[in-house]
Amino acid sequence: MKKIMERIKKLLDLAKDKCNRHVAEAAAQKAQQLITEHNLRVEMFDEDSKREDPHWVGFLLKNSSPQVWEVNLACELSRHNYGACCIFREGVKFCGSQRDYDVVKWLFQWICKQIHDLCTQEIENERLEDTFKSRNSYRQGIVETITVRLNRAKEEAERAAKIEAMVAELDGKYALVPVDTASQNLQDYLRRVLDIALRGASSWGARSEVNDQNAFSAGMRDGHKVDLNAGNLNG
């Protein structure tokens, strides 16, 4: 039984993968099958209930003068992973849980690497001026598109989860996690995070005028090239 429970736990961890919907769905279905076969309670594997109280975990970026696009990217990734990030004197700090911080920090580093690589390619191919205003306008454009993609992915994931739960109920099965309850718990947790962030930080996100509209538009176009799955930072 111990091996079965360990296998189910690994499957449930995969089922929480926000970036690979197909893998998550397959893992959730297999976990549900094993739980039903062995007459186990889903609550035994519910990790969401173990999320610690929100706190200032660590820095996503240690820089006393972060760029606008860096701050906005960090804030959007944090928000979509039930956390918040704010500007402190030392840099951009994350508030939430340790496990959410680990996800956001890795994604932030991976996406920043891709943004820098795309910017370098555009300059080398002489499609982008090698100036501070053009480089940063281009990066701001990429983050703008990433924000739209994150919002759309979240909406699609929530819609799919509700549909699957309804189908499971019609089939006489029970969902891994009651969708409405889980969603409400996470939103309540996010509200607690935001309450702490509002009381402890000097700034949230950043906005500035786009200095090169052509570069910004090119960045918005290339924002679709960014892989939102955490990859290899050494590649």
220 in the same domain as 146: yes
210 in the same domain as 148: yes
pLDDT at 89 (0 to 100): 87
- Report the distance separating Cα 168 and Cα 160, nearest Å: 12
- The answer to which of 5-14, 17-26, 114-123, 143-152 has the lowest mean pLDDT is 17-26
Residue at 233 is within a domain: no
Domain that holds residue 203: 52-225
Please say if the pLDDT value at position 43 is more than 50.
no
30 in the same domain as 137: no
191 in the same domain as 94: yes
Listed in sequence order, the residues at least 6 apart from 45 whose beta carbon sits closer than 8 Å to its beta carbon are 5, 8, 9, 12, 31, 35
213-222 vs 98-124: helix axis angle to the nearest 10? 120
123 Cα distance to chain centroid: 29
Dihedral over Cα of 87, 89, 94, 95: its sign: negative
Domain count, the chain: 2
Tokens representing 120? 């370098």
DSSP bridge pairs for 92: 61, 87
Residue at 80 is within a domain: yes
180 in the same domain as 125: yes
Q: How confident is the model at residue 97 (pLDDT cuts 50, 70, 90)?
A: very high
- The answer to which of 20-24, 143-147, 216-220 has the lowest mean pLDDT is 20-24
CB atoms within 10 A of CB 137: 26
66 in the same domain as 40: no
79 in the same domain as 186: yes
95 in the same domain as 66: yes
Residue at 234 is within a domain: no
Tell me the whole-structure pTM to 2 decimals: 0.71
59 in the same domain as 39: no
Which has the higher per-residue pLDDT, 144 or 38?
144
Please say if the pLDDT value at position 185 is more than 90.
no
168 in the same domain as 62: yes
Percent of the chain with pLDDT over 90: 47
